[in-house]
């Protein structure tokens, strides 16, 4: 199967190269025949990379340790679900997985546009397949997952297979790691398609609304996946790493956040171009920036130039990524400058108090946040290159910059959509904002009275109540108006309101998800932490909880040995629950890891870690965190995904317009 996988890679590379050339030639000559051949080559590229993925998974599941990748990242006693996760657990397999997802995205772009966007598609194929050429070449020539182990004997190489492999990294043996990396990859990789459409529109000078409409949907899908991946990554860090938090401004965490923020800016500013014909340069630049940051994030994760629990080991693929990033930057910037005459705004900003201004302010803050995070992330690399020593930028820097910007964005999340296009009158401001401001003031006073004095926590909850009132008010007013006109029930009116404009109201639901996440983040201000050594019978108090160590037990499984602390918990003097945190030692990888236990509620999480044994006393080291409102972070993530899915569903109006356009197209074909 090693040979089959390698053949799949080299054949996929050949098809991707052909798709690039045929796409460019087909576009230049306006030849449908050549363009169709490029489309078929794209589908063949996907088929060949799929063959390689199947080959590698077969080697993993059959414990073929003659394959170097399998020997390093898997072992015989690894449970079957995690054998699938082995695919992306190492450098070589993760690059193959990246390439495979890209080939699927490319194929979907071809299949969904076989009768649409005919001027754009040859160049879309060329640019997307060009990205495929880079990743396939990197996978085959630099980080090949089908390399075989061998021993040298009497001048000859003899195939070698160890009796067992090193095993999967213990931190990756967690159920959400079966989907978290997949979500991130779907987000990173998917940004290649909006980039390809943006480049194709620049090449063909088709810079009207059509490419924007197409690109918006192709951006929303990976944006949703990337957001879900970030939330799941936080959940993994919270449940596995044992440090009591879910976001630490780690370089690789930052690498995933930056393209998500840039994509957020694009999804907002695109509405200004659709409605007012403005921000054309912004939009195409944001598409380019989002893709660039996706590749940059992939580079950070795989090059080994940053220290992170999420990053792969140091490797020699960094220079290849740097060259690819330089090519992206040079080609993109050149095309934008050559097409500036076609990117002129059709209208000018009429008023500072308008929806256009709200979106512009939103974009400025998002981009300022992106570049602040970028600077903090790469500063250690720059300091090492310039001064020869690493100067680390820690969470305090990011918190100082990001928290105020985040609060400003939260305010615009509620205020922006309620502003009118072109100019907002004083009467409109009073009508739309009186009730939300009043509700926010009441909530703010109540919070202060009940002891919420931390400024940022208070601001998060105060602004969150304002945004929630704004968004829910839009649903209520829209449904009530429809109810009066149609005579429907309120529930029916609300459903039909959303169905008639899924994009708008799906976006509002996303905004509600953001509010809920900020509620969860506000809980960080009230976090409590305690650490103690405990033997059976010992107790420790954390907040209103009393923890008693009842016993310490140990055991063995084929994959790992473990030690468990049985802990009884009392809350306010009453029996509350029993927890069993574990410390595991994985045999194949020879690595220990703590298995966290969490008693979660909407109000707070009781988070208990068995950190090991105290070398002096031999007692168990137990760490306890009391984390308020964490559950709301995960709930907010779910709401955001739900809102995005609703926004992706074509509204009734869009479906009716699509049917009319399809009928017109069929009529033209019949005449031809």
Helix (H) / strand (E) element for 612: namely strand 604-613
Choose among 111, 135, 108, 118: nearest CA to 16: 135
pLDDT at residue 653, rounded to an integer = 67
E strand intervals along 101-251:
150-153, 156-159
Helix locations, 241-354, DSSP H: 251-276, 280-303, 318-338
What predicted TM-score, i.e. pTM, was given to this entire model? 0.92
Helix (H, G, I), strand (E, B) or coil at 531: strand
Domain ranges of the chain: 1-149+161-168, 174-410, 411-524+636-664, 526-631
- Give CA–CA dist 501/134, Å, rounded: 40
- Give CA–CA dist 435/283, Å, rounded: 34
Helix (H) / strand (E) element for 495: namely helix 490-500
Pairing of strands 582-586, 591-595: antiparallel
Cα–Cα distances in angstroms (integers) from residue 460 to residues 156, 362, 434, 439, 605, in the given order: 68, 17, 19, 14, 20
Do residues 528 and 542 make contact, with C-beta atoms less than 8 angstroms apart? yes
State the residue for tokens 């468990």: 564
- Give CA–CA dist 361/349, Å, rounded: 13
Residue 613: how many other CB atoms lie within 10 Å? 15
Angle between helices 251-276 and 209-240 (to 10 degrees): 150
Tokens of 253: 């965490």
- Give CA–CA dist 638/585, Å, rounded: 33
Pairing of strands 620-628, 528-534: antiparallel
SS3 content of the chain, % helix, strand, coil (to 5): 65, 10, 20
Helix (H, G, I), strand (E, B) or coil at 194: helix
Do residues 220 and 648 make contact, with C-beta atoms less than 8 angstroms apart? yes
Segments of the chain scoring below 70 in pLDDT: 152-157, 303-315, 388, 390, 653-672
CB neighbours of 121 closer than 8 A, spacing ≥ 6? 35, 39, 110, 113, 200
Tokens of 230: 């970030």
Give CA 261 to chain center in angstroms: 10
Q: What is the CATH number assigned to the segment(s) 526-631?
A: 2.60.98
CB neighbours of 632 closer than 8 A, spacing ≥ 6? 516, 517, 519, 520, 523, 602
- Give CA–CA dist 198/117, Å, rounded: 13
Kindly tell me the burial class for residue 426, based on how many C-beta atoms sit within 10 Å of its own C-beta (0-12, 13-18, 19 or more). Answer: exposed
* Residue 652: half-sphere exposure toward Cβ, Cα within 13 Å: 7
CB neighbours of 436 closer than 8 A, spacing ≥ 6? 414, 466, 467, 469, 470, 473
């Amino acid at each position: 199967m090693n040979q089959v996988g390698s053949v799949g890679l080299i054949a996929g590379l050949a098809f991707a190269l052909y798709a690039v050339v045929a796409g460019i030639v087909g576009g230049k000559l306006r030849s449908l025949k050549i363009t169709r051949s490029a489309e078929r080559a794209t589908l063949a590229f996907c088929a060949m990379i799929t063959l390689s993925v199947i080959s590698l998974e077969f080697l993993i599941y059959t414990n073929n340790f003659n394959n170097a990748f399998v020997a390093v990242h898997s072992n015989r006693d690894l449970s079957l679900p995690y054998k699938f996760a082995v695919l992306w657990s190492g450098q070589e397999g993760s690059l193959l997985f990246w390439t495979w997802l890209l080939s699927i995205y490319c194929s979907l772009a071809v299949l969904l546009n076989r009768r649409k966007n005919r001027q754009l598609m040859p160049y879309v194929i060329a640019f997307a397949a060009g990205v495929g050429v880079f990743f396939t070449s990197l996978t085959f020539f630099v980080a090949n997952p089908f390399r075989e182990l061998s021993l040298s004997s009497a001048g000859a190489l003899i195939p070698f297979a160890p009796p067992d492999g090193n095993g999967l990294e213990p931190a990756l043996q967690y159920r959400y790691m079966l989907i978290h990396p997949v979500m991130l990859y779907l987000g990173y990789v998917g940004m290649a398609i909006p980039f390809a459409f943006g480049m194709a529109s620049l090449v063909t000078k088709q810079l009207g609304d059509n490419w924007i409409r197409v690109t918006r949907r192709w951006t929303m899908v990976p944006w949703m996946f990337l957001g879900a991946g970030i939330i799941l990554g936080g959940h993994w860090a919270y449940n596995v790493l044992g440090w009591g938090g879910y976001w630490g401004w780690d370089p690789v965490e930052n690498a995933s956040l930056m393209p998500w923020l840039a994509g957020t800016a694009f999804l907002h500013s695109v509405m200004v171009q659709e409605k007012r014909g403005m921000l054309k340069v912004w939009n195409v630049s944001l598409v380019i920036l989002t893709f660039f940051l996706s590749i940059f994030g992939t580079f950070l994760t795989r090059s080994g130039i940053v220290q992170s629990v999420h990053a792969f080991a140091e490797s020699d693929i960094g220079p290849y990524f740097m060259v690819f990033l330089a090519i992206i930057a040079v080609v993109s910037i050149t095309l934008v400058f050559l097409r500036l005459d076609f990117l002129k705004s059709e209208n000018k900003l009429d008023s500072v108090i308008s929806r256009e201004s709200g979106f512009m302010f939103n974009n400025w803050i998002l981009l300022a946040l992106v570049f602040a995070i970028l600077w903090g992330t790469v500063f250690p690399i720059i300091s090492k290159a310039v001064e020869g020593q690493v100067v680390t930028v820690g969470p305090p820097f990011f918190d100082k910059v990001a928290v105020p910007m985040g609060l400003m964005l939260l305010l615009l999340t509620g205020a922006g959509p309620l502003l009118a296009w072109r100019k907002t009158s004083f009467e409109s401001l009073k009508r739309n904002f009186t009730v939300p401001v009043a509700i926010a003031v009441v909530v703010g006073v109540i919070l202060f009275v009940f002891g919420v004095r931390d400024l940022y926590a208070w601001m998060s909850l105060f602004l969150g109540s304002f945004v929630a009132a704004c968004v829910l008010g839009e649903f209520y007013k829209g449904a009530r108006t429809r109810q009066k006109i149609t005579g429907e029930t309120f529930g029916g009116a609300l459903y039909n309101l959303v169905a008639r404009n899924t994009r708008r109201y799906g976006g509002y639901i996303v905004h509600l998800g953001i509010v809920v996440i900020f509620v969860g983040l506000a809980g960080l201000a009230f976090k409590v932490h305690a650490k103690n050594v405990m033997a059976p019978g010992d107790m420790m108090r954390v907040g209103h909880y009393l923890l008693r160590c009842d016993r310490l037990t140990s055991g063995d499984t084929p994959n790992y040995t473990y030690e468990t602390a049985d802990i009884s918990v009392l809350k306010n003097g009453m029996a509350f629950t029993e927890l069993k945190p574990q410390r595991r030692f994985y045999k194949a990888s020879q690595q220990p890891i703590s298995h966290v236990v969490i008693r979660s509620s909407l109000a707070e999480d009781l988070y208990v870690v068995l950190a090991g044994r105290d070398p002096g006393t031999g007692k168990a080291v137990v760490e306890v965190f009391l984390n308020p409102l964490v559950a709301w972070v995960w709930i907010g993530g779910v709401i955001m995904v739900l809102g995005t899915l609703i926004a992706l569903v074509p509204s009734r109006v869009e479906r009716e317009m699509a049917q009319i356009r399809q009928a017109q197209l069929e009529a033209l074909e019949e005449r031809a």
